Amino acid sequence: MPKKTPEQTAKLLLRQARPDDVPALVDLTGRVYSPEWGHSAEMLRSQQTHFPEGQFVVEYAGKLVGYCATFRIDEATALKPHTWAQITGGGMGSRHKADGDWLYGMEVVVHPDYRGMRIGQRLYHARKRLCVDLKLRGIVFGGRIPGLAKAIGRYGSAESYVQAVVAGERRDATLSFQLANGFEVIGLLRAYVPSDHESLGWAVHLAWRNPSLLDHPDIPSIPSPKHLPDSVRVASVQYFQRRIRSFEEFAMQVEYFTDIAADYNADFVTFPELITLQLLSIENEELSPVEAIRKLSQYTPQVKELFSRLAVHYNINIIAGSHPTEQPNGDIHNVCYVCLRDGSLHEREKLHPTPSERNVWNITGGESAATIQTDCGPIGVMICYDSEFPEVARHLVDQGALILFVPFCTDVREGYLRVRYCSQARAIENQCYVVLSGNVGNLPGVNNFDIQYGQSCILTPSDFPFARDGVAADSTPNIETVLFADLRLESLARARNAGAVTNLKDRRFDLYEMRWRPQPL
């Protein structure tokens, strides 16, 4: 067997600390601080005894060059003011709580001769992995601000100094590093380590929130997040419009696709906008566009009964495209019926009729956009043209929507691309999933429904946890098909809290806001 060359042998190793590391760690911490203020052998052994999986070392060429210590703590203790000695039990780690929901960062030290190797960053990443693996709420600690003593004359207070560092106006060797690693300032800790003269005893209270949890306050609230599935399977039907002879024939086609989606264990199946215009091909009489739409509205009770029955029978949530529906005041609205597998039925109206819908069919817009609570989390519906208005999606996401469904109906490629590009933008700017479902084929003799261009798709944010190009599933244009994709809700939370960009967190509420006018009941 050939002997390994030095290039084949790993020189740097990050691992859990062991009892036999204690003498080297006494030397390391004494070198970083001083023999007087370094960790004693008793402290190091105690840390490993209380929480062995939370102590890490970095070994380079057989030499210990980095160390970090952690323990678990309850939220109330972690987030209130404290000193280092109080919360760490004098450095022993004795405040460790086996059921604590936060990881406390007790210590990070790096050998002075090895500080250009990102060893501190490796240790911070190890902490984050441990936090995620244990499903803790996050990491919290008091961070040094060693530039404070030299700058106090200029800034006058620790608060002003920290504000300058956070704003990027000044660099602090420690705090700037921690901010770059995703930690946020939640306060200041007075007399955290009184002997830390460089920091004048102050520390910055810092936190990193576990992005795999869905219930942090910096993302829209989500009811019962712990009961949501890790993954949601969605199906989108690219529906071929053809002439039919009866409502029963329409029902048979719809049931076929619902059955297919259910056979593949989908949680949702989406149908296109105005799917029920197919029913007008049953009529033999010549009708004006407005008369045709009012005639179609007469099928409303049958449409609602059909999709509600299928949702329960096939145990699947159905976004039933849309159907022109006459309102009590005589107006016609373009309504999406959302039928959940628990038997409930919800109506969501198109807010923005297109010029063609207004002029040819006399359709008027609805007045509200609310999320729908499902067994897979809150969802929102934007019918076709609504996707081209950013305010609608933002309003839905602010209410907690994780997935937005866009039933659409477009006649030419240019119209389809408007919906597609805008929906992709909504997925990116709101860090959510968007599911499109469109019609293909044609219906000769049905006014304003002559030709169709469709390419259904399932879109994601554009970031590392998601599909390449932000497309989880795509279809071949203008053929009848069904798309499937598994959408991980955890990936949304991760992106919203710690993605390459964090659109929802970074909005400038100090500059602008969006207000949705309440409508009278």
Q: Which residues are catalytic?
A: 273, 350, 384
Angstrom distance (rounded) from CA 385 to CA 406: 9
Sign of CA dihedral 396, 402, 407, 410: positive
For residues 290 and 362, is the Cβ–Cβ distance under 8 A?
yes
Structure-token match 């149908």, residue found: 271
Own/partner contacts of 130-134, CB < 8 Å, gap of 24 or more, are 130/53, 130/54, 130/70, 130/103, 131/103, 131/208, 131/210, 132/210, 132/211, 132/212, 134/72, 134/103
Angstrom distance (rounded) from CA 431 to CA 488: 12
Angstrom distance (rounded) from CA 407 to CA 405: 6
Quick one: DSSP state of residue 232? E
Q: Which two tokens stand for residue 375?
A: 């067994």
For residues 15 and 21, is the Cβ–Cβ distance under 8 A?
no
- DSSP for 77-130, written as a single string: HHHS---HHHHHTTTT-TT--TT-SEEEEEEEEE-GGGTTS-HHHHHHHHHHHH
For residues 371 and 191, is the Cβ–Cβ distance under 8 A?
no
206 forms beta bridges with: 141, 185
Residue type, 279: L
Under 8 Å CB-to-CB from 416, ≥6 apart: which residues?
A: 408, 410, 438, 453, 454, 455
Angstrom distance (rounded) from CA 311 to CA 338: 9
Beta strands in 317-392 (DSSP E): 317-320, 323-326, 332-339, 345-349, 372-374, 377-381
Q: Which two tokens stand for residue 488?
A: 């991980």
H or E stretch covering 69: strand 63-73
For residues 209 and 137, is the Cβ–Cβ distance under 8 A?
yes
For residues 362 and 332, is the Cβ–Cβ distance under 8 A?
yes
Q: Which two tokens stand for residue 222?
A: 């989500």
Angstrom distance (rounded) from CA 58 to CA 494: 27
